[in-house]
Amino acid sequence: MSHDPELPGGFQDDDFDQRELEAAGAKSAALRRRGICDHGWLMAPDGEPARCLHCGAVFADAEAAYEARREARS
Protein backbone atom coordinates (compact mmCIF):
# COMPACT_ATOMS: atom_id res chain seq x y z
CA MET A 1 0.00 0.00 0.00
CA SER A 2 1.29 3.43 -0.84
CA HIS A 3 0.83 6.49 1.32
CA ASP A 4 -1.09 9.43 -0.14
CA PRO A 5 0.21 12.57 1.60
CA GLU A 6 -2.55 14.74 0.10
CA LEU A 7 -5.33 13.18 2.20
CA PRO A 8 -5.99 15.07 5.45
CA GLY A 9 -5.44 13.71 8.93
CA GLY A 10 -3.36 10.75 7.78
CA PHE A 11 -6.39 8.99 6.32
CA GLN A 12 -5.99 6.77 3.29
CA ASP A 13 -8.45 5.62 0.63
CA ASP A 14 -8.80 2.26 2.38
CA ASP A 15 -10.00 4.03 5.53
CA PHE A 16 -12.86 5.60 3.62
CA ASP A 17 -13.70 2.32 1.89
CA GLN A 18 -13.76 0.53 5.26
CA ARG A 19 -16.08 3.18 6.69
CA GLU A 20 -18.53 2.66 3.82
CA LEU A 21 -18.46 -1.13 4.25
CA GLU A 22 -19.06 -0.84 8.00
CA ALA A 23 -22.00 1.51 7.44
CA ALA A 24 -23.56 -0.88 4.91
CA GLY A 25 -23.13 -3.79 7.33
CA ALA A 26 -24.67 -1.84 10.20
CA LYS A 27 -27.67 -0.90 8.05
CA SER A 28 -28.13 -4.53 6.96
CA ALA A 29 -27.94 -5.73 10.57
CA ALA A 30 -30.46 -3.12 11.70
CA LEU A 31 -32.90 -4.22 8.99
CA ARG A 32 -32.49 -7.89 9.97
CA ARG A 33 -33.19 -7.05 13.63
CA ARG A 34 -36.47 -5.52 12.45
CA GLY A 35 -37.28 -8.70 10.52
CA ILE A 36 -36.53 -7.24 7.09
CA CYS A 37 -34.20 -9.16 4.80
CA ASP A 38 -32.21 -6.93 2.48
CA HIS A 39 -31.19 -9.93 0.35
CA GLY A 40 -27.51 -9.23 0.92
CA TRP A 41 -26.35 -12.83 0.40
CA LEU A 42 -27.38 -13.95 -3.06
CA MET A 43 -26.70 -17.00 -5.15
CA ALA A 44 -27.37 -15.85 -8.70
CA PRO A 45 -25.91 -18.09 -11.42
CA ASP A 46 -26.03 -16.60 -14.92
CA GLY A 47 -29.34 -17.26 -16.64
CA GLU A 48 -30.90 -18.98 -13.62
CA PRO A 49 -33.23 -17.81 -10.86
CA ALA A 50 -31.49 -15.97 -8.02
CA ARG A 51 -31.94 -17.05 -4.42
CA CYS A 52 -31.35 -15.17 -1.18
CA LEU A 53 -29.37 -17.42 1.13
CA HIS A 54 -30.60 -15.51 4.21
CA CYS A 55 -34.36 -15.78 3.77
CA GLY A 56 -34.76 -18.23 0.87
CA ALA A 57 -36.61 -15.81 -1.43
CA VAL A 58 -36.34 -16.74 -5.11
CA PHE A 59 -36.18 -14.10 -7.85
CA ALA A 60 -36.52 -14.44 -11.62
CA ASP A 61 -32.91 -13.41 -12.19
CA ALA A 62 -30.03 -11.53 -10.61
CA GLU A 63 -31.35 -8.13 -11.71
CA ALA A 64 -34.69 -8.74 -9.98
CA ALA A 65 -32.82 -9.72 -6.81
CA TYR A 66 -30.68 -6.59 -6.97
CA GLU A 67 -33.81 -4.46 -7.41
CA ALA A 68 -35.37 -6.07 -4.32
CA ARG A 69 -32.14 -5.33 -2.45
CA ARG A 70 -32.23 -1.67 -3.47
CA GLU A 71 -35.87 -1.40 -2.36
CA ALA A 72 -35.16 -2.99 1.02
CA ARG A 73 -32.19 -0.74 1.67
CA SER A 74 -33.92 2.51 0.69
pTM score above 0.85: no
pLDDT score for 3 = 62
Output 60-63 pairs: Cβ under 8 A, ≥24 positions apart.
none
Report whether pLDDT(1) > 90: no
Task: Give CA–CA dist 65/61, Å, rounded.
Answer: 7
Does 2 fall in a domain?
Answer: no
**Per-residue pLDDT tens digits for 19-64:** 999 999 999 999 999 999 999 899 999 889 999 999 999 999 999 9
What domain range is 52 assigned to?
Answer: 10-73
**Which segments of the chain are extended strands (E)?**
42-43, 50-52, 58-59
User: What single string gives the DSSP state of each residue in 8-21?
Assistant: GGG--HHHHHHHHH
The number of domains in the chain is 1
Does 4 fall in a domain?
Answer: no
Report whether pLDDT(7) > 70: no
Query: For residue 44, which of 59, 32, 56 has the smallest C-alpha distance?
Result: 59
Does 3 fall in a domain?
Answer: no
Does 1 fall in a domain?
Answer: no
